[in-house]
């Protein structure tokens, strides 16, 4: 069974904020933006906000950051890796999920960082 999870804010692009299927929740890339899709602050602040947005979608799906098994982080500048990690570590302090981090030439909205996630659903047998 597949279920669409809406974002807490109105989506302006043609994609689902999250989709649950097979005991997992797949969350689309989230940005550290305000309600008008404007990046807020430096990469550290944007990382915090992006994870806040991830958490909101996960909560709507019925899961949480504690059950995230994998993230992908896209950075506009690899030089921002250390600053991104400072904020990331605060939200994933113990047993962090597996992660892929890549640098890209450009991100939507002029953002410095984008993060997506895959989380287990509570009680799901994902063996």
Q: What is the pLDDT of residue 10?
A: 54
Instruction: List the domains of the chain with CATH numbers.
Output: 2-120 (3.30.1330.40)
Q: Is-contact 15 116, C-beta < 8 A?
A: no
Give CA angle at 104 (98, 110), nearest 5°.
110
pLDDT, tens only, 84-98: 999 999 999 999 999
pTM: 0.92
Strands lying side by side in the sheet with 68-75: 2-5, 18-21, 24-31, 113-120, 68-75, 98-103
Residues 6 or more apart whose Cβ sits within 8 Å of residue 67: 58, 119, 120, 121, 122
Q: How far apart are CA 29 and CA 46, in angstroms?
A: 13
pLDDT, tens only, 27-49: 999 999 998 889 999 999 999 99
């Amino acid at each position: 069974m597949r279920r669409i999870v809406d974002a807490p804010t109105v989506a302006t692009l043609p994609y689902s904020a999250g989709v649950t299927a097979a005991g997992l929740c797949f969350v689309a890339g989230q940005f550290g933006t305000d309600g008008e899709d404007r990046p807020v602050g430096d990469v550290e602040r944007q990382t915090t906000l992006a994870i806040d947005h991830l958490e909101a979608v996960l909560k709507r799906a019925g899961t949480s950051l504690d059950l995230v098994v994998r993230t992908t982080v896209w950075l506009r500048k690899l030089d921002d890796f250390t600053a991104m990690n400072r904020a990331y570590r605060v939200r994933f302090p113990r047993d962090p999920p597996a992660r892929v981090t890549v640098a890209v030439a450009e991100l939507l909205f002029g953002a410095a960082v984008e993060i997506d996630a895959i989380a287990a659903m509570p009680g799901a047998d994902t063996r």
